[in-house]
Structure 1
């Protein structure tokens, strides 16, 4: 007896709810434009930009992700080692450039000056020996000294003067320091090493797969251990906003709508309508017939219309059938 009463109570409540909906439903004045279509949204396929083993994947199908969330990571051991090598090479090149810019050390300048002094002393000694030999030759009318001795003394003086000149030029080079061209070359090599570091750091950052926008994961296409590649998507994301209903309007009704007009969207699983507005009206007819048309055939043409949905409660799903009502 109690079960029968409960069943009757449920039936009565359902009847009251149906009557209330019937009495409060929007009036159909016969002028509203009713269109039928399906929910649509944009999708994005995400792939790693490098080719390496996948180390980790962090999300599953159906999860909501925000822009910047890390969805997956590649194995970065090889990149990390290469980056450490490049940084060491850049550090060594920095020292080379610093040495060139600093110029000669005081000890090097002192060493060059001492060598010049030594060569000057050798040249003075060679000159004195030549003068002594020539003096003896004059006093003895060439009998005490042979011509060969004079030639040897002259040769020693020339050699000493040549060495003195070389020492002076070497001292000048040490004093002036490295050439500008050598410094520029070292700077260019350092810039190249730093650029290589930047490339490796960029590749290391791209070892993380990040969500570009707020979205919902539609498909997870790879797993940890798979070899990633730029041509192989790992995830397919459905962009949560905007959403729209893709529908079509006949040519005879095309003049009744315009972008920005308010609309209501209903789906089979929800009685409460979702607010929307017309966002796009195609300027090209679908399935365009031949050039020569009859009047009846022209009126059969349809145009794509996108009705943007204000779906804050996230009730719409891709492909879901929907009814659009545009109040005239």
Structure 2
């Protein structure tokens, strides 16, 4: 007689029952685990409908080169994260750095010239000019005295006209020397003219502009990312010659993503920006994502008669990268149906990772002792802090919201705190009325 491979023999069945009993007994024998609980609530929410969607990056940028040059280094590569302002690639800058060094040296020279003018004359320079002036004054006075004596001698016919004219000429020259040195002394005391200082400042400003221009060129030889993101494409290799405008790398922002859903025209009017919705990603069955509708684009696809809807979702970043990746298939549950009564639980009450989501309900036994019972559910429409639980739950039941990840069926627990839902929407409004914000 042929036997099915899945048929339980009389010997195996008691063994399975005994194993289950031992597991429950062990859970009951464990010390009570401290847990935080919250009440389930009943409210009217709009019925949800599932739409196919695609995960897209919040930003996408093909970063190109602003100048002509040769790529000497790729700092990051495909799949790696780059911060805002982080370097993606570097171009050869040896020649332009020599230009910068020369321009910087010229700027230093102009600055020193300006500083010399602004400082004015040194005290010892002024004393030197004064001494020269006084020496010339003494020479001038001696020449004038000599001329006076010779004039008297000439009047008494004791000196010739030639001698008189010679001494007169020498006295005039000595006076001119004195006047010249006196003017030089006065200029030394007054210091440089304001016009010369202004000219020197203009030369400094001009040379500073030259240095800044070269520095700006050098910055353009360093290709940077304009936002936090991940490199998804490399368009060049090291050693490649690029021209201005040539693409170098492609960067996408994934810290937040936009989920694109396409809603048929009869439901598009019910989709409102600001509504919190649930996003399911089949590739990540153990994760629950919620997002906020940011945009309903008022332009339908002419063939499909569907309207694009954008939903902003906060991504989860791990050591191995973002969980939500650009191009992932997703399903979005949008509240487009008539209001219906639903049991809502805090999102923290959900336990994922098994064949079906579940919550742990707290049951009270003899002597106010507490234990937990797993209740499998299906999730429905989402709200900022609550999510619809479809299953054998009633309003007012206590569900575990903290410490539920380590519980076992039938385990004894002690309630450490009762958490009040962060927001309790009004039942008279669609989707409960509290449909703004995220977790």
User: Where does structure 2 lack aligned partners over 5 or more consecutive residues?
Assistant: 7-45, 338-439
Partners of 1:110 and 1:65 in 2: CA distance: 65
2:184 aligned with 1:174 = no
| TM-score (normalised: structure 2) | 0.57
Bigger drift between 208-217 and 147-156 goes to: 147-156
Partners of 2:295 and 2:108 in 1: CA distance: 61
Question: Does structure 1 conserve the Cα–Cα contact (< 8 Å) formed by 2:271 and 2:296?
Answer: no
2:308 aligned with 1:304 = yes
Q: Would you tell me which structure has more helix in proportion to its own residues?
A: 1
User: Where does structure 1 lack aligned partners over 5 or more consecutive residues?
Assistant: 7-29, 290-299
| TM-score (normalised: structure 1) | 0.73
Question: How many residues in Structure 1 have an aligned counterpart in Structure 2?
Answer: 289
Question: Does structure 1 conserve the Cα–Cα contact (< 8 Å) formed by 2:147 and 2:164?
Answer: yes
Partners of 1:166 and 1:115 in 2: CA distance: 10
Q: Would you tell me which structure has more strand in proportion to its own residues?
A: 2
Q: Deviations over 1:238-289 (max 9, x none)?
A: 2113222222223321233212334333445455574233423435232579
Partners of 2:316 and 2:117 in 1: CA distance: 65
**Alpha-carbon spacing, 1:146–1:266, altered in 2? closer, same or farther (3 Å):** same
Match of 1:297 in 2: none
Partners of 1:262 and 1:155 in 2: CA distance: 106
- Residue 32 of structure 1 aligns to a residue whose secondary structure is strand
**Alpha-carbon spacing, 1:262–1:123, altered in 2? closer, same or farther (3 Å):** closer
What's the Cα RMSD here? 3.3
2:222 aligned with 1:218 = no
Match of 2:246 in 1: 232
Match of 2:76 in 1: 59
Partners of 2:149 and 2:228 in 1: CA distance: 100
**Alpha-carbon spacing, 1:112–1:64, altered in 2? closer, same or farther (3 Å):** closer
Q: Deviations over 1:54-93 (max 9, x none)?
A: 1100332223334344322222322332232233223322
Please state how far the C-alpha of 1:139 moved relative to its aligned partner. 1.8
Question: Does structure 1 conserve the Cα–Cα contact (< 8 Å) formed by 2:273 and 2:296?
Answer: no
Partners of 1:156 and 1:279 in 2: CA distance: 102
Equivalent residue runs for 1:1-328 within 5 Å: 32-41=48-57, 42-140=59-157, 144-267=158-281, 269-271=283-285, 274-282=288-296, 284-286=298-300, 301-312=305-316, 314-327=322-335, 328=337
